[in-house]
Amino acid sequence: MFSVNQIIALVKQYKLQTAVVIAIFIAIGGWLVFNSGEEDPAKDNLAMQQTQPIEVHQAKSKSKDKKEQNSQTPQKIIVDIKGAVKKPNTYEMQSDDRMKQLLDKAEPLNTADLSRVNLAEKLTDQKMIYIPDQREVTTSNSSHASQQDDTSAASTSQNISVNLNTADEKELTQIPGIGPSKAQTIIKHREENGPFQSVEDLKNVKGIGEKTFEKLKNYLTV
């Protein structure tokens, strides 16, 4: 074994050789450290290409899940209900609510005609809903019948054509605006003055002026 003094003596004797050896070791160490810090660009690109599709897929998957979640979550909507209900008003409902749930809030009247309402109908935002009343049908039918009667009467009146020279009291009173008294006056005038030469001669009868004649002329002939 060499003592410390002997080793120091050897180092002093071989200073040049020792410096060279140390320099070699330092160079080798530096080279190893430098190369170990570098990365292969090809490997980096490959790793990036392999990672990128995964990240894109994950992002798309998250976006899709979020959209599905939003579409499945009921949204608040506003609907307006009128007609045969106790509480006509605008109501805040959920987008998956049905007509039945709205009517539970608005409370239909006893006369509400729910046979004409789809209770399973899905509500939509900004929709106006009208609940019909059973009495509306009766009123509508009565009005329609009255209109038919009026039309029928008007049609019958328009078809009347009475000959002033041959008509008796009964025929004359079929004309709108001629009662028994006026019919007798027309017959008396005809008997005293002879047959009417034209429909306009009716204006010569006592009590029949221009306005009355205009109402009667379309029903008369000679």
What's the topology of domain 162-221?
DNA polymerase; domain 1 (1.10.150)
Using CB atoms within 10 A of its CB, is residue 81 exposed (0-12), middle (13-18) or buried (19+)?
buried
Determine the Cα–Cα distance for residues 37 and 195; give it in Å rounded to an integer: 136
The yes-or-no verdict on residue 173 having pLDDT over 50 is yes
pTM of the model: 0.35
Average pLDDT, the chain: 78
Tokens representing residue 221 in the block = 């002939």
Tokens representing residue 139 in the block = 């009123």
pLDDT of residue 7: 61
- CA 109 → CA 78, 83, 115, 193, distances in Å? 22, 9, 13, 70
- Bigger pLDDT: 139 vs 112: 112
Convert the pLDDT of each residue in 122-139 to its tens digit: 999 998 999 999 988 655
pLDDT of residue 13: 66
Beta pairing, strands 220-221 & 162-163: parallel
CATH 3.10.20 for domain 76-135: yes
Give the relative orientation of helices 4-13 and 15-37 as an angle to the nearest 10 degrees: 90
Q: Which residues, at least 6 apart from 118, have a Cβ–Cβ distance to it below 8 Å?
A: 99
Q: Which residues, at least 6 apart from 207, have a Cβ–Cβ distance to it below 8 Å?
A: 182, 185
The domain segmentation of the chain, as residue ranges, is 76-135, 162-221
Tokens representing residue 152 in the block = 């029928």
Q: CA triplet 126, 128, 133: central angle to 5 degrees?
A: 165
The yes-or-no verdict on residue 104 having pLDDT over 90 is yes
